[in-house]
Amino acid sequence: MLAVSAALCGDHSAIHLTIRGTEMPADLLVNELTLLLAQEGDRYRRAKAVAEAIRASGPYRWTGIYDVDLRNGIVSNIAWSGAGAPAHPTFPITSGLTSRAIVTKKAVNVGDVTTDPDYLTALASTRSEIIIPVLDDVGNCVLGTIDIESDRTDAFDSATQERLEACANALRAFWIR
C-alpha cells in the first residue's frame, strides 16, 4: 500500500512516499532533510518539518527532535511528529535511554522497551525505540538526538539504524548553523 503525505515548508512542499514495510532510501531522505534545514524560518518550524519528514520516511509511529544541554544537564524536545506530544518534554540527561546515547555517543536501539529498566514510558503501546545522537563535527559532544518509537517489537534493524545515523549527520547543521 502506498501512503502519501505532504508538508508545506516555506515556499517548498515536501512530498513523502512510503510503501508499507519499506523506507525511503537514505540518500533521498538526507537530501530532503538538507533542504528542510536550509529553509528560512524559526527553529521550531524547521525541527517540526524534519521530524515529520523522518516519521513519514518509514513505518514509524512517533519521531522527536531533542536538544541536549550538557551545561545544564537537560534534554528538551524541540519538535515532534506523531500520536501526541512527548510525555517527557524535558528531562535530566541522566534519565532514560537518551542517557545511554549521550554517554556512549552511539545509537541506542531497544527492540522491546518493556524489558529495559531505563525506558521512560511515553506512549503505553510503544514496543521499540531508537535514539540516535547528533554529534558535533569531531564526535566529542552530543548536540541533540533523534528519538523514534514503534508499536512493534524489534522495529529497527541495522539498516534502519544506519539510515537514521545518516540523518543525524545531516541534522548536525541544525545546531551548528
Cα 136 from Cα 29, distance rounded (Å)? 20
Strand partners, 5: 16
Instruction: Render pLDDT for 106-142 as a digit per residue (tens, 0 to 9).
Output: 999 999 999 999 999 888 899 999 999 999 999 999 9
pTM attached to this predicted model? 0.84
What is the chain's mean pLDDT, rounded? 87
Summarised one tens digit per residue, pLDDT across range 34-57 is: 888 888 889 999 999 999 999 999
Q: Which CATH superfamily is domain 2-176 in?
A: GAF domain (3.30.450.40)
| Set of cell numbers at residue 44 | 521550531
| Alpha-carbon dihedral angle through residues 131, 111, 113, 145, given to the nearest 10 degrees | 0
Domain locations along the chain: 2-176
Work out whether the CA dihedral 69, 128, 162, 173 comes out positive or negative. Answer: negative
Q: Over 70: is that where the pLDDT of 2 sits?
A: no
What is the reported pLDDT for 177? 60
